[in-house]
Each structure stands twice: as structure tokens, then as C-alpha cells.
Amino acid sequence: MSDSKNDIAWSKIFDDFPIVDVVEEKGFFIITSSQINNYREARLMTKFDVRRQLPKVFIENEFAILPITRGSYIIGKFNIFEDIKNNTKLVSYGADTLPEHIKAIDIENISSETTALLCANVCGILRSFFEEDQITHVIGGKMGSGSFDFQISDIRIPVSKSQIEIDGGFESENFVYLVEVKNLIHEDFLIRQIYYPYRTWTNKLKERQINKTVRNIFLTYSDGVFYLREYQFEKIEDPSSIKLVKEEKYSIVKDSLSLERLKEITDNVIIIEDPDLSFPQSDDLDKVINLCELLYQTDDGLSKREISEEFGFVIRQAGYYGSSARYLDLVSYDGQKYRLTEKGEEIFSLPLMQRQFELVSLLLSHEPFNIVMKDYLKESSRPTVRRVKELIADCKLYNVGKETTTFGRRCSTVISWIDWVFDRVEV
């Protein structure tokens, strides 16, 4: 990432303090909030939810930072992020509808993490994932961590009264479920966000002699779909022993796209001329849509830097996702900021079901995707990259040479976006 305010401030701190030398000698360096505040507000300087948000000087030295008290932090060569692997084989389960008396939740416009969690609870998604008949919402908000130790990179780290925040805690007869919620799709997450609450509440239950197990849940919401993942720590005192043990996804979109409707759209959509814009080079269409959702909630658009900071992308990736949205005519770019186009505003104001139908139609109005979809439907099998190369050899792909390796990568993108469509087909 290019120099942000955090990059500049942390670079000055590293110039003024012997952080690199001390970490090399002792394995860690302790710094206080008051010391950081002399350069920039510590709250802003230490909030890194994903790996890409780390300042450049941290990345260059392979450093990370963790809070250990309410006013101090430890810096060292710690692995504190867990990759999120995108499981394309997950089948979407249908969620319950909102109870008739619930009017305060706008299921068509879930724009906050709090609303996403409340919706997942009311629609039975949490009970289904937890495999529980009854759960009660009992924990939430900021609190102290209490005291505990853990081992990471051969360093013993004591934590005492560090501030933690729990998006939602639910209790059943045998378990306490701690849920961390995100409404932006990331490639990884900060392990501390689930590890510190896990240790805090494991200790609380033990102190109170309550025989219940704490379970760690990571929930992501986007485009009508809830992704839930459960993580365990194989060694309670080692946050790097994190392990994914269960994952599922749930859709609140009713009347899913049928195969018959998909065939009808594919055959009857009006094919448009591909724009003189970069052909999409971001395989994850979910993130493109997630970007549009974010822009829909933003009054004045977003710059590449702002997008990169929101998602934890490098700026180059922010450009890829912005360009993909431009290709679909969902987003415009004036050289400074991305904004939804009139068509984008119209589509993202629709109810979820209609929105997904419109997005499918929009995608299939582009000849390369339409041709591949027709072949997929005819052959009833997912095409290979070689097959896609043959199918779209005569299509216009702006600034993509057909004899280059780039062409093969763009064909992989076509397959990924077609997969996104089939993921929404009710079978």
C-alpha cells in the first residue's frame, strides 16, 4: 500500500525507537498508548483487522502488534492472521423467514454488522449452525479481558485487562457461542478478535465453576448470504493453533433462481457491445458486489485508497475490483473516486431476489459470459479453461491478446463468474 497516515506515523516511531534492534535481541518490544499518541491516536494506529492493513514498516520487518493491557502493546514477529479459504463447494441452506411481528429489521437492506447478527439470530441461522433448539443472546459490547498468558513465536505474552469487544454471545444448555461479525469479505482475519474473547470467557466460566465450553464463530454477511465458520484452538495457550472445524452458508433470498429461469435469461437477454474497459481480472465476483454494496451506503464515493483500507486490499487490487464493477456498468470512476452509476443505484436499491436476477441478466448480456453459459447449460458440465478459450476466441476482450497467458487468466475469471451464477441456482 502507498503511504497512509498510519504508514507515515509508524515510520517516524521506528526512526525514534530501537524497535527493530530490540525485537532482534529480545524477541519483542513494548510500546505504550501514550507513546504512540505523540505521533497519531493509538486507537487508529493499532487497528488492523486484516493483514493488508498493517503499516509498511511492519510488513517489511514481518512484525505484528498485539494489545497486552489497556494502555500497552507488544511488537514482534508474530503470525496473528488466519487465511479465509473460499470453499466453492458449500451448498446454500435456506434461512427461515422473519417472524410476522418483526418489522424493525429491513432484510433487504442489511448495512451493519449488528443488523446482520440480529437477522441471523431471528431467521434461525445461528440455531441451525449451532445445532441447537434454543439459544439466548447474553453477551455483547466492550469489556475487559481479565488476565491470561499465551505463547506465540516462542514468546510468552501476559495479557491483563486489555479491552475486547464481542459482537454477540449466545448461550445454550452446554455451550457459550462467541460470534465475530463482518459485513465486508476479506481474505484473512485477525486471530486476536476471537482468541482474546475466547480466553476471557473460558476463564470466566472456570472461575464461576460453570461447566460449559466456549465456541468461536466467525460470521460474514454479503448479498443476502451468511457465511458461518467455527474455529477451535487445539492448544488453549497457543493462538496459532487455530483450526477451522465447520463451515456453512445460508441464504435469505427466497424464490432462488431456477434452472429454467436461468436458461430463459441466457437465451433472451439482449447482448451488448463490450466496453473499451479492462476485461475483469478479479475472480471473486462476491467482492465486486460487496464493493457495490459499500458504495450504495456511501454518499460521496470511495477512492482506491479508501477501498483498499476498507477491504484490506493493496491499492492495485482495489483498482481490479473497481474496474470489474465498471465493466458491468455498475460503477463509474472519475480518476479520483468510484461511485455507483444510475444503473448501479437502481439495481442495489432492489429487493435481494430481484437484485440477483438483475445482476445475472447484466452479466449474461456480455457475449463472453453468455456464450460460456450456453455451453455450460448444453453440456451440463463446468467448462475447462481450454474450452473457454475456444468458445470466446472471437469475442472482443479489450486489451487482452488471445495468444498471451493473460487470455488464460481472463478465461479463469469467466469460469469463476459463471460459477457465481450457478451458486444461486436452486437445484
Domains of the chain: residue spans and CATH: 5-78 (no CATH), 92-251 (no CATH), 257-426 (1.10.10)
CA-closest candidate to residue 75, choices 120, 118, 36, 121: 36
Spatial distance between the Cα atoms of 64 and 46, rounded to a whole number of angstroms:
10
Spatial distance between the Cα atoms of 237 and 195, rounded to a whole number of angstroms:
10
Q: So what's the pLDDT on residue 1? A: 42
The dihedrals phi and psi of 260, each to the nearest 5 degrees, come to -65, -40
**11 contact partners, CB below 8 Å, separation of at least 6:** 3, 55, 56, 57
Could you read off the pLDDT of 278-301 as tens digits, one per residue?
899 899 999 999 999 999 999 899
Could you read off the pLDDT of 351-378 as tens digits, one per residue?
998 999 999 999 999 999 999 999 999 9
pTM of the model: 0.86
Q: So what's the pLDDT on residue 142? A: 95
For cell 515510520, what's the residue?
Answer: 11
**388 contact partners, CB below 8 Å, separation of at least 6:** 372, 411, 414, 415
The stretches in the chain having pLDDT less than 70 are 1-3, 254-255, 427
